Structure 1
Amino acid sequence: MGALIDTLGQLHFLRPWWLLALLPLLAWAILLKARARRRSVWQGAVDPHLLPHLLDDDNHGAASSNWPRLRALLAGVLAVLALSGPSLRKQAQPLLQTREPLVVALDLSQATLANDLPPNRLAQARAKLADLLRLRDGGQIALVAFADDAYTVAPLTPDAANVALYLDALSPEVMPADGHHVDRAITWSLSLLHQAGFAHGTILLITDHADASAIAEAQRAHAQGDRVMVLGLGSPRGGVYRNGGTLESAKLDVDSLQRLAAAGGGRYASITLDASDLRALGVLDPQQDVARTARGETAALWQDDGYWLIPLVMLLVLPWFRRGSALAVVLVCTLWLPTARAQQAAPQAAPQRSLWQRVDQAGWARMQQGIADYRRGDYAAAIAKLSGLPGAEAQYNLGNALAQSGRYPEAIAAYDRALQLQPGMADARYNRDLVHAAQRQQQNQQQNQQQNQQQNQQQNQQQNQQQNQQQNQQQNQQQNQQQNQQQNQQQNQQQNQQQNQQQNQQQNQQQNQHGRQVPSQGAPQPLKPADAQAQQRADAAQRQRMQDALRGQQSPTPGRPSQATPASAQETPEQRERRLTNQAWLQRVPDDPGALLRARFLLEARRRSGDAQ
């Protein structure tokens, strides 16, 4: 008896909301009871052999007609109990990890500038990381850079595009100090996995050699359930690179890297031009890895025992089968259970909307749809699906979609809501800082554009003023030239008239003298009319040459460019000086994408050194 009480005490309903369906059945039972009470009143007042003649057909044979109704009521109660998911036992099931997180640790020592991989190792590593982020199928990923020490470039996040933003900034110049400590990279990667709440994960090291301390650290990681994969960066023949003022060489040590991978329970591959090295390491599709238990732990899950009630329901409705009314009831009662069992067997599958889905499950499915839209680049659809969803993760994903759409203030507000709900969310804090920086940069660009527009307006006004002044000067010069030409012509005409008058006077005087004197054989002869006409033509030709010469001074010679050119085709000294000044200021702006990482790593190094002291 005590065992039965203990068993009933463990009764648990997986879908308790189905118990509300008992209310209509209870109402039906009350109605049947009321009819039976009305029938019992007539039995106490009328003889039994007279009842068939006094009662209606509904009450006639009530004793035989109540049993089908009671049978239907009992079948309905059992069906509702089966749909509610009664459970009396738990079953231990292993915790399978099908989508392991991946932490990529990239070597950023000076040796990555070696030229054995054209153009250098660093460029090849960036391209390989871009392929990994583009081809990896799901799972969270983080990026760590290491040299003398290890630093977080991007924390664990399911958004691979967010990690890809930092690839161009990766270079040895962002590291506070040069060195090669693979063991510290493994230790820091393990801390990222554990801080994110993962029991175990995969670490991908991209480097050219390993020492004994790194191998020992890989063994410790493997003992905790993690795996260490190694991607060899470089070639066995080696290459040279400049470290300060000296030339040094670096070679790929395959043996040490293979020992490192074996100690970490992983695999080794040398870098290739295609994705065959990533496929060999098994980091592209984490679902294809062999399922492993998380530290050998299992979880006790309630088992649905409602299917044991289905045979009883079928027996109760079996007499109605020939009438054709029981088939629909059996289908309705049995079709619900396979769906529930399938979802219990595969809890990690994407949920589908159904009538028994809870509010939190519907919200989770909606968030997954929004994440899928975000990964496809449909940020508007992602914002529409993620808006209004509760939870820190939903607000974080909403902030990412808003940031990609350029709606920086709304994205910052979404990140703030996520941090209020979950203050320890490093991804939300990190992305919020990035969006803040992008917003400030956008504001600076807008201010620069406004300043440039104002400067351009001022320049245009100055140019218009200068053009008007030059046009006025040209008009004044032309008017002065025309006035000078007219004055010269008048002076020439007056001079010619005076010369003609003087010549005529001299000729008249000579003629008068000749008329009074006796002509002699050697005396000069008077001018004939033909000679006077020739003299006039010569004077006219002389005046025409003078006028042509004057016009030649103000009109350009054919084939020679005019000295007076439009003001718009020339650049004034002030405009040229302003243009050169703007170019000089623009050249002084540093093109350094790694400045943010360098400053962040330097602050982290100082903090660590302060804690060590």
Structure 2
Amino acid sequence: MTSLFLFFEAFHFLRPFWLLLVPAVLTLWWMIRRAETRRDVPNDGIAPHLRAALILGAKDRRRSLPIDGVTLGVILCALGAAGPTWSRLPDPFAAQSAPVVVVLKVTDTMEEDDVAPSRLERGKQKIRDFLDLRAGARTALVAYAGTAHVVLPMTEDPSVMRPYLEGLSPDIMPQKGEVAADALALAQSVLADEADTGGVLIVTDGIDPADVDTLNATGSGVAVLSMLPEGVRDRGLDALSIPLVEVTPDGGDLRRLDGLLNAAYRRAALENTEQPWLDRAYWLAWPAALIVLLWFRRGWTMRWLVLATLAYGAAAPNPSRADGVVDWFLTPDQQGQIAFNRRNFVDASELFEDPLWRGYALYRSGQYEDSIEVLARLDTAQASFIQGMAQIKSRSYRDAVRSFQTTLTRDPDYPGAADNLKLAEQIVDYVEEAREQSDTGDDGIGADEVVFDNEANRGVDSQVEVPQDGGDAPLTTEQWMNTVDTQTSDFLRIRFALEAVQASASDAGQPQAQPDDIEPDTTAEEAAQ
């Protein structure tokens, strides 16, 4: 129902003056139809049964006439010309779904097998399906029992979350219990760092009655997925006033939850005046085209309409181009958008004519140099921002610094530009410092060399040979990670225990102990890297 309310709230016409045609068309329709259906036979002096026998086609006077189809088609065209809309044009450089923190209850009760294979495993399956449904939207994971912990901060890569999700079990939780209110507060603190309005999804089989008031006071943006089987009730869940969805065998529960959690995000998108409205006129073109098909029937073609259509076609200054059947109905940019939405970025880059969309499709397809070249002709903040991202991917870090600086010059508040500029500058400083430390002054040139950007002329020019035999070569990150036997569950058990000890020490006013080999600010995502 929330989506329906948003639809009616946002619905309007972009060009409402075209609606003036509707009453004029209806007036003309009434006049023509009245003239064709009026009775010419006098009523006086003729018996009703004789008059009915003398009038031909009396039964067909109220049937549909050609003017009816013409009127309906013209009205549809007028409504389409008025530009109906109820949503903003999607920003291709922003996520299309709200950031969500998934809160999973990890207790002994979740090990019950009344929901196959168990409540906890089914909950994990639902979370994985939820990640697939959201297609790369920003998602974080929080687990709780007697304590609440951030398993993984916000990430756009579902594959990063999966191993941590699999490692969750009641055995790794430091304390027994169910502190849903603490988990909600932790999730809201994660959302506080996000620029967009987000939501919290709680996956649980029960809520402690002591936490009900806290959850009910959150208002919109929080939803609960109940992992209880049909017929089993929980006093805490029954007392909730926030949206509660029961688990289903199919994905209907997740689609409903996604709609609920995205409601506030869509409302915020409607209020974004920087994005233009999406014209939905094309929806009315299909019923209008179907009505046109009726004009091929005998007796349905109106001569004046055929003449008007021929006159319009003769006066058209630019003939349309149609290289294929698809070109009869869709422009190249529309075809490119379809390919882009299907994540077929290579085809999208070949179909798009709009340079911004074409450059972005090239970037998404990995053609970074071509993307930089296409976007160079544009002078918008979006274009320079994508250029910077493409230059980062192609390891042109100093060029990326310039692109992000250009983005901030064009739009000082452009989302992510300042953070990416800082990151690019740090990469450049790191590369130059590494060059200074590795400089030996040798003039020899090896067969293979690592080239660093040294625009600032720091250090002495030299080349670093890459070992060919691999005997003395250092292990790569992937090779090093493959030698680590520690499971994700072991890592989470240690980290959760440490966080629980730190929280207890903080509550007691004692100094927090920090082991030398564990960074206190290390996140799960950084540890995974």
Which band: TM-score by shorter chain?
0.3 to 0.5
TM-score, normalised to structure 1, is 0.37
Higher helix share: 1
TM-score, normalised to structure 2, is 0.42
